[in-house]
Amino acid sequence: MLYGLHQHTPFVTHSRDDSFTCFLSDVLANNSHPVSRTCFSSGIVVLWSETADTAELCAAIAQEAQKQELALAIIGYSLTRHDSQNLVEGLAELAPGLLFTGCSTSGEVTPDGMQENGFIATLLPKRWFDVHVLLMRDVAHMGMETIARKTADARHHFLTKLQKTDDKSGIFSLNLIDGLSYSEETVTLAIDRGLDGIPLIGGSAGDDLQFVKTWQITNSQACSGAAVLTLIHCKLPCQVYSNNNFVPTEHKLVVTEADPDKRCVSEFNAEPAAVAYASAIGMDPQDLDAGSFASYSVIVRFGGQHYCRSIQQLNDDQSLTFFCAIDNGLVLTVARSEGMVASSRHAIEEIEQEIGEIQMLFGFDCIYRKLDARHRQTTHRISSLYREKNFVGINTYGEQFNSMHINQTFTGVAIGLPTSNSDSP
């Protein structure tokens, strides 16, 4: 029987004979960690569990791959419970023909609501989706021109295959990138350049707030420091989106000393960064933690809109490390979180007016939104909204939307119901 509970434990090989389906069923039936399943009207399947081990995860996905032809499996998983290499090897053994992408998380959002230390897998059927996957390793050192060129080559190949070189309708891209690579801004900008107008959504992989190492996976590959870009053609109504719920205050913080390479600010307004920030939000520096960073972000204004620049952690020298690019002279505004549930509902309802009834939302919910909801005791309300609106996805260290790397957002793609105009095969 498969086993894979421990780091670097190999999967036992099984021959593919007539008993293989029974074997998969036995793995799932004879365990104490059941995998939950939801199937939407289009055939999109979501699998999730807080307790299943890596073998059970792989067996559940492989079983679904036998039921219908799948274009792609998108997997989010906790490093607390799952080993990346075991996951890749297990899927290669049990579902060798299945294309998959994924990354490590800091929590998952399932059809049952928010969960910790588990996994979620979203399976897209070939009936409605075409995909092309590009893995780029060590993106922090690849260079913008190389990233843009590789992306453009992938875009050209995909559109040519679809015979849609002059029509990009129904096409979007999904990027899963190392959330500790300190490179999301430049990589996102380069990818957006190579996509040439194809919408981009993305998430920065997490590691359960350990801030040590994140993982990105695709077929036969498990690595860190990478970006896994997937071009997706959806034959159903779809629309990408991004939303935040921050309101600017009167407090300004000017970066007067920083190390941009490390995303670290030593001084705001010529004071120790932690002292100036704490004063602006009415706290003592020693009391700063992830909850305060989540509830009082700092924002920067670009093109008439505000974008969050979230603080990752307080350092011993009273400097502050950020989740995003930071530089000397940058003027930041302290903002407060306000109305997360109402803001998210309003954003979803606007999408519904555009594409009609939504069967599911897939995307990325920043880990600081989750911590902010917990701090304000509104977790049950935002979780209830996600269940009501069929949002599934992962908690990330940042999000990407078109050319921007952003923080503390609810970002993703809405997928509607089949219509008379949908290109069913």
All domains in the chain, ordered by first residue: 20-125 (3.30.1330), 246-337 (no CATH)
**What pLDDT does 422 receive?**
60
Tokens matching residue 222? 């498990």
Read off the pLDDT of each residue in 82-95 and give the average, rounded to a whole number: 96
Contact 191, 229 (CB under 8 A): yes
One-letter identity of residue 186: T
Could you identify the residue written with the tokens 């969050």? Answer: 308
Count of residues in the chain: 425
Confidence of residue 337 (pLDDT cuts 50, 70, 90): confident
pLDDT in tens, 67-87: 999 999 999 999 999 999 999
Read off the pLDDT of each residue in 380-392 and give the average, rounded to a whole number: 96
Confidence of residue 7 (pLDDT cuts 50, 70, 90): very low
Give, in degrees to the nearest 5, the angle at Cα 107 between 359 and 112: 40
User: What does each C-alpha distance from 182 to 19, 263, 336 come to in angstroms?
Assistant: 47, 7, 25
The mean pLDDT of the chain is 90
Residue 24: partners with Cβ closer than 8 Å, 6 or more residues away: 59, 62, 63, 66, 94
State the alpha helices, DSSP H only, in 30-143. 54-67, 84-94
Over 90: is that where the pLDDT of 209 sits?
yes
| DSSP letter string, 283-339 | --GGG--HHHHHHS-EEEEETTEEEE--EEEE-TTS-EEESS---TT-EEEEEEE--
- Most confident residue range from 126-135, 156-165, 290-299: 126-135
Least confident range from 99-103, 298-302, 384-388: namely: 298-302
pLDDT in tens, 123-151: 999 999 999 999 999 999 999 999 999 99
Short-list 71, 364, 100, CA closest to 206: 364
Read off the pLDDT of each residue in 100-114 and give the average, rounded to a whole number: 97
Over 70: is that where the pLDDT of 28 sits?
no
